[in-house]
Amino acid sequence: MSDQDLELLEGTVSSIIFQNEENGYTILRLDVRGEEVTVVGPMAGVAPGEYLSIRGRWTRHPTYGPQMKAEVVDRRLPQSMKEIFHYLSSGAIKGVGKTIARLIIEEFGENALTVIEEDPEQLTKIKGITKKRARQIGEVFRQQMGTRRLMEFLSEHRLPLELAALLRRAYGDVALEVVKANPYLLVNGEFEVEFSQADALALSLGVGRSDPLRLEAGLIFELTHNNYSNGHTFLPRHKLVDATSTLLQVSGELLEDCLETLVSRGETECEQVAGQEAVYLPALYEAESYIARRILEMSQAELLPPEGLSGLIRRIEEEQRISYASQQREAVELAANRQVMLLTGGPGTGKTTCLRGVLALFEMMGLDTALAAPTGRAAKRLGELCNTDASTIHRLLETGFDPRSGKLIFTRNSYDPLKTDAVIVDETSMVDVPLMAALLDALRDDCRLVLVGDPDQLPSVGPGSLFADLIRSGAVPTVRLTEIFRQAAQSAIIRNAHLINHGQIPDLRHNEGDFFCLARREPESVVDTVVDLCRRRLPERMGIPADQIQVLSPTRRRGTGTRALNQAIQQALNPPLEGKGERRFGDWVFRTGDRVMQVRNNYDILWREEGGTDSGMGMFNGDIGVIRSIEKEVITVDIDGKVVEYSPDMLGELEPAFAVTVHKAQGSEYRAVILAALEGAPILMTRGVLYTAVTRARELFIVVGDPAAVAGMVANNRQTRRYSGLRARLTEE
């Protein structure tokens, strides 16, 4: 939306209803020519008495009615005696109440604010104000003015106003000067400003197109973007230079010189690896190198198996009423005498049986074992399969605040390692390089590690192809399960998953058992069919309630993407009703009863146990819950028994989850899965995406769409190459 499309409001702040000091999110009442209007948005430090010029758009709160969502805010200091008194008496300045405010006005009149900012010691003329108190009042006001000027700067350059609070928290009183000196700092992950915006700001402030500041920022941006958006741990030097040259429209020679400077300062690492002159960010270089060293050390360690191992395995078989196949027995035996091992295989090959066996063996050996998975839903599923507690890797490692960096870190590390004797990680294909490095750093030198997963599923969202690299290296003891057991082979889901994985198109004409294809060739028809399946057909005919059905799509946009599907399913399953809480945020209307997903890691969000006394911190990308209530400005969500309260400024972390992308569904299992497969970019309509979607279903899988699109996905074995040095390091070291 352009500024021309935004509506204008001008008036004086009459009262502050709510203000979050952490991020500046504010709800206020604005007096517009005698009419009180509610305004919401990031307006750090705004106080009663201020005159605001606001550009934004109208929204409707289900409880509080119409309100203006501010997008551009211009602030003017109070000017008249009445405005200044209103401002000073509002409590905006600590230590100044109505009585002191009146005395200040009487003494200094319309110059009161100038005196407070520039010469606060003059306030000692007023009875009861000491020099110390005067200086304190002046300091508070100068801080407010710093925030004001920062917001004016952001507004002038059409940058998000919520940056003001983040920048003040990072750089204090000199935040504006820091940004002016180096606008490219805004591209930092914490601020999330697009590089093009930061670059335009820098150029407008006089930074030259060939300025080393600009060139170095471009190189770091390209490297970071390709690491964390495209999954690479490094970029070949020539690709990095070429990409940055295109981005900045400058010569490669200039960039080569800047890259050498970055290397000399330790801001990048450059070395020959995997046949490439590889350029790394230091953190990923250290993580990848550390994983290779630690895994090799653990792989080469042979442990004495317990006495009577064969007898222990027979006992496990008796207790679990199973008889191991040769590969399964091999896996349990390997776990007994190796410090680290990989267990891999497709659906129906008995990974869970092996996992339970390894866990039982470790218990018989007296080992304290921790079970973990990359996501909350994967951890919950792992715990249910093994009938014991399991946690996310993030929670296993625990988070804490680092006062030196001002960031949250894992508190379990080499200085304070985990107390467990063994760790079993499921869904390891989802684990990226930084997380695995953190886990290895938290293991005692003698701790055992079992990594379980399916390398044919989609790779991790974060950098690296960790699990696939570990397997392909041949350097780590591995058991690959290949036998599909008879009971599993009866499932069309499992049979078809293996067909897809081998590049064969399943029979989509003869629907049978637990695998169905409903041919639809128009987006509207696909959406209507998916809605009908969720609302009526599966609950009524198959006894599967809507909350146990997960709709998937390869894509977010287009006619059958998650955006369109979520809107349609929400309208069908959870329509608006009088008295039902609602809250609009961006393109979404959140409603009590909605299924929602946490879409980014938030280590410091608080949760409490439903109906219990337990509490903790942290919600993670992919966690799914249900909105229990929407009261005032707070949305309360139940995420697997953990109750979380989302304030308005946190709603960017939530998305509807009636339908999610296949990538977001990794690590989860659902009673029934419906896949909308009609159209999408070739990079998304791949064999790996289809295979991952099918393997999410436990009882029923239905694909709704064009059989030709499904066939195209099977044929498209496109796997985006990820630049990773881990495999090479494991084989070369």
Q: What is the pLDDT of residues 175-222, one digit of tens each?
A: 999 999 999 999 976 788 999 999 999 999 999 999 999 999 999 999
> Are the CB atoms for 187 and 222 separated by under 8 Å?
no
SS (H, E, C) 197-263: HHHHHHHHCCCCCCCHHHHHHHHHHHHHHHHHCCCCCCEEHHHHHHHHHHHHCCCHHHHHHHHHHHH
DSSP state of 348: T
pLDDT value at 2 more than 60 = no
Tokens read off for 152: 């004016």
Kindly give the pairing relationship between strand 422-425 and strand 369-373. Answer: parallel
**How many Å apart are CA 501 and CA 490, to the nearest integer?**
18
Which residues are registered as beta bridge partners of 642?
609, 639
Give the confidence band of 1 by pLDDT, cuts at 50, 70, 90: very low
Sign of CA dihedral 352, 355, 359, 364: positive
Region of poorest pLDDT, from 239-248, 485-494, 583-592: 485-494
Q: What does the CA dihedral 301, 304, 310, 316 come to, rounded to 10 degrees?
A: -70
What six digits make up the tokens of 374? 């990359």
Mean pLDDT throughout 484-498? Answer: 84
Q: What angle do CA 81, 83, 89 make, to 5 degrees?
A: 95
Kindly give, in sequence order, each residue whose CB lies less than 8 Å from that of residue 228, ignoring residues fewer than 6 positions away: 189, 462, 463
Residue 307, number of CB atoms within 10 A of its CB: 7
What pTM did the predictor assign?
A: 0.83
Query: Could you give the 3-state DSSP secondary structure of residue 367?
Result: coil
CA atoms within 13 A on the CB side of 513: 15
What does residue 405 show for φ and ψ, rounded to 5 degrees? Answer: -95, -20
Residue with tokens 């690959």: 480
pLDDT tens track for 536-577: 999 999 999 999 999 999 999 888 999 999 999 999 999 999
Q: Half-sphere exposure of 122 toward its Cβ, with a 13 Å CA cutoff? A: 15
- Which residues sit opposite 8 in a β-bridge? 55
- pLDDT tens-digit series, residues 85-137: 887 887 777 778 888 888 999 889 988 888 988 898 999 998 888 898 898 88
> pLDDT tens digits, residue range 340-351?
999 999 998 899
Spatial CA neighbour of 471 closest among 634, 345, 641 = 345
- List, in order, residues 6 or more apart from 234 with CB less than 8 Å away: 227, 273, 276, 278, 279, 280, 284, 285, 723, 724, 725
Lookup: tokens for 412: 């379990």
